[in-house]
Structure 1
Amino acid sequence: MAWKTRSVLLCVALSLWSKPACPEGRKDPEVYMNATQIIERWGYQALAYDAVTEDGYILTLVRILPNANKWKSERPVIFLQHGLESSCVDWVNNLPGQSAGFYFADAGFDVWLGNFRGNLYARRHRTLKPQEKEFWRFTWDEMAKYDLPALVGKALEISKADKLYYVGHSEGTLTAFAKFSTDQQFADKVHTFFALAPVVTVKYIKGPSRFLSPLVKNIQAFEELFGQGLFLPKESFISKLVQDFCPIVVARELCSDLLFLIAGPELHQINTTRIAVYLAHHPSGTSTENIIHFGQMVNSGLCQMYDFGNEEENKKHYDGKTTPPLYDVSKVTVPTVLFWSASDILATPVDVQRSILARVPHVVEVHNLTDFSHLDFIWGLRAAYEIYRPVERFIYKDYSTRHNRRP
């Protein structure tokens, strides 16, 4: 079993650190561009804003200005929130017509791309520096509690809209479900929630990622192995192992492929000419505590707040409670549209059916997609037709009805 554990750890590390280790073939200029540069390269106008959270994190919020010819006056505001280890770039790193960010801009929507704390677009703080461990003391709990209201609030402030449409992928759905279930005032700012590869529980997760979950039971040991702040920093043991392994010629193709092994091994929907671009921007970074939190969810099968590892610490953070509080998604009132697939090994059918379909009360549409891996929801070549187009049509009908107008 020891060799299996080491093999899994190596696979995970290789996938997450394929960016620095596999430089060969990177000739696409988007490899070296940031989000706004990529957007502008394709002829769209992009603006970047700072959204400051209540606890001091400074998050970059990117806006793609809409096609002025589509809507005569007010236009729908759509907010896109990325998943785990991702960033706003994931919504624009395919070609126009294939990327959600470009697709919705072409539809005439006012498009906003959020970033969660810890990724490359959200590593600033009013008082803390990324070099300090305290900067990285967060999980998706804080993303839900602090990041989402800051990002959505800024988008509504600038656009002068009262409400918006929320599109989330993976962790971007988990945080939304959590926030909607605990903050009705925030929920009232969202017309409709479009959940792509939706996550509430991850009890039945498959693939190599599952093998990390037993390790999180010892938080201190996990942090020593994978980093005590940023997950897999360059000085970690696993990272050093990767740096020695990936430069070997026979290993370079493996470095690229393993990213997709973690989220689903099928590559038939991926534009293989864009893999260098994907790997240049993904993973974008998160905290080790956040990874531990997901591991705890695998072990418990529950959607609950972070477990600090002992009853005394939990009491300090949770008003005397010895165990982390649960999120009750039956309290979500936002109309929800689901896009999920039986081929997704991270947002699995059993988890979706038991934790979302059976519990979330206001699911208005369900799209069960065929042969979509976890990353196909944002990178797949069929995503525009099978996801973004239905979202566009739903918003078109809903917004026109609300405002009694047509574009």
Structure 2
Amino acid sequence: MGRRRVKIYETEKDEGSVMAYWDWTWEQLASDDLPAMYDNIHNQTGQKLYYVGHSRRTYRLGLREFIAGGSDVSKLLAGVCSLQLIDCTKPIDVIAGPHCCIKPSMMDGSFDHAPQSTSTKNIIHSAQMIRTGNTAKYNYGDESENKKHYGQPTSPLYNVSRIPKDIPLLFGYGGKDSLTFDVNDVKHLLDNLKDHQKDKLVVKYKEVYAHFDFVMAGNAKSEICI
């Protein structure tokens, strides 16, 4: 959690503050939380750091917490599992793709503590980008609200090509991952990074990997790390 949201949560208890606490998307995770964690670790250790990332109003769900194991998600999964050709005896595979290389003990232990809840706004933001096919800031669904936040009636696009060309990057993605990037998404991202320094960009594609193989597979260290 970022510094700003921790302060709100600790000092205010009213309804407005609860909503403010969950008023964020993955953009704030990158702009607020990540620098705060980086600064704290660097100040404590003084060491060079590497960042490894996996995955990230209204509506009926409201502008607050989205609980992965909550009743709304349970109803959604029940509807999906009622469809033909959907085998829900392995629910994680249905959601994230058929993993290839994870021991059952690793899977059971990990999901005793995950997935954690997120904000409803974050879920909506992700859905907006999926529907439009663009990587853009959160769309408030109203021109006046967008103008208030961005100075224009539409939500601005992120310019991925502005990433400094000499920053070392490694992208890993799997052919069986049904939760986040698919192969075409990654190709689109890499096309936007075509001017990046070639010796600073490494791409690792694993055809048999699903979403959770990257962090739980027994062979992930040898297959992904360089």
The answer on 1:378 being equivalent to 2:215 is yes
2:67, 2:118 within 8 Å by CA — same for their partners in 1?
no
What SS does the corresponding residue of 1:386 show, helix, strand or coil? helix
By how many angstroms is 1:232 displaced?
Answer: 3.7
Q: After the TM superposition, which residues 145-156 of structure 1 pair with which residues of structure 2 at under 5 Å, given as runs? A: 145-156=31-42
Say which of 9, 21, 31 aligns to 1:135.
21
Distance 1:280 1:315, change over 3 A: same
By how many angstroms is 1:126 displaced?
Answer: 3.9
Q: Deviations over 1:292-337 (max 9, x none)?
A: 000000011111111111111111111x211112111111122212
Q: Distance in 1 between matches of 2:157 and 2:176?
A: 28
Q: After the TM superposition, which residues 327-366 of structure 1 pair with which residues of structure 2 at under 5 Å, given as runs? A: 327-333=158-164, 334-345=167-178, 346-355=180-189, 357-360=190-193, 361-362=196-197, 363-366=200-203
Distance 1:233 1:299, change over 3 A: closer
Aligned twin of 1:165: 50
Taking structure 2 as the reference length, the TM-score comes to: 0.80
Q: Distance in 1 between matches of 2:204 and 2:75?
A: 41
Aligned twin of 2:110: 278
Distance 1:339 1:310, change over 3 A: same
Q: Distance in 2 between matches of 1:138 and 1:240?
A: 23
Aligned twin of 1:287: 119
Aligned twin of 1:198: none
Aligned twin of 1:387: 224
Aligned twin of 1:314: 146
Q: Distance in 2 between matches of 1:155 and 1:349?
A: 34
Say which of 224, 229, 232 aligns to 2:64.
229
Percent of pairs with identical residues? 31
Higher strand share: 1
By how many angstroms is 1:231 displaced?
Answer: 0.8
By how many angstroms is 1:145 displaced?
Answer: 1.3
Q: Deviations over 1:209-234 (max 9, x none)?
A: xxxxxxxxxx633xx1x354111488
By how many angstroms is 1:343 displaced?
Answer: 2.5
1:347, 1:374 within 8 Å by CA — same for their partners in 2?
no
Which amino acid in the other structure matches residue 326 of structure 1? L
Aligned twin of 1:323: 154
By how many angstroms is 1:166 displaced?
Answer: 1.4
Distance 1:268 1:337, change over 3 A: closer
1:342, 1:369 within 8 Å by CA — same for their partners in 2?
yes
Aligned-pair Cα RMSD in Å: 2.8
1:376, 1:383 within 8 Å by CA — same for their partners in 2?
yes
Distance 1:305 1:272, change over 3 A: same
Distance 1:286 1:325, change over 3 A: same
Unaligned runs of 5+ in 2: 80-86
Q: Deviations over 1:34-56 (max 9, x none)?
A: xxxxxxxxxxxxxxxxx852x24
Q: After the TM superposition, which residues 90-109 of structure 1 pair with which residues of structure 2 at under 5 Å, given as runs? A: none
By how many angstroms is 1:282 displaced?
Answer: 1.4
Q: Distance in 2 between matches of 1:159 and 1:130?
A: 37
Q: Distance in 2 between matches of 1:275 and 1:292?
A: 28
Aligned twin of 2:84: none
Unaligned runs of 5+ in 1: 1-50, 59-123, 172-218, 246-252, 391-407
Which amino acid in the other structure matches residue 91 of structure 2? L
Q: Deviations over 1:54-104 (max 9, x none)?
A: x2437xxxxxxxxxxxxxxxxxxxxxxxxxxxxxxxxxxxxxxxxxxxxxx
What SS does the corresponding residue of 1:340 show, helix, strand or coil? strand
The answer on 1:301 being equivalent to 2:185 is no
Q: Deviations over 1:146-171 (max 9, x none)?
A: 1111011111111113x421111122
By how many angstroms is 1:285 displaced?
Answer: 0.8
Q: After the TM superposition, which residues 38-57 of structure 1 pair with which residues of structure 2 at under 5 Å, given as runs? A: 53=3, 55-57=4-6
Q: Distance in 2 between matches of 1:168 and 1:130?
A: 33
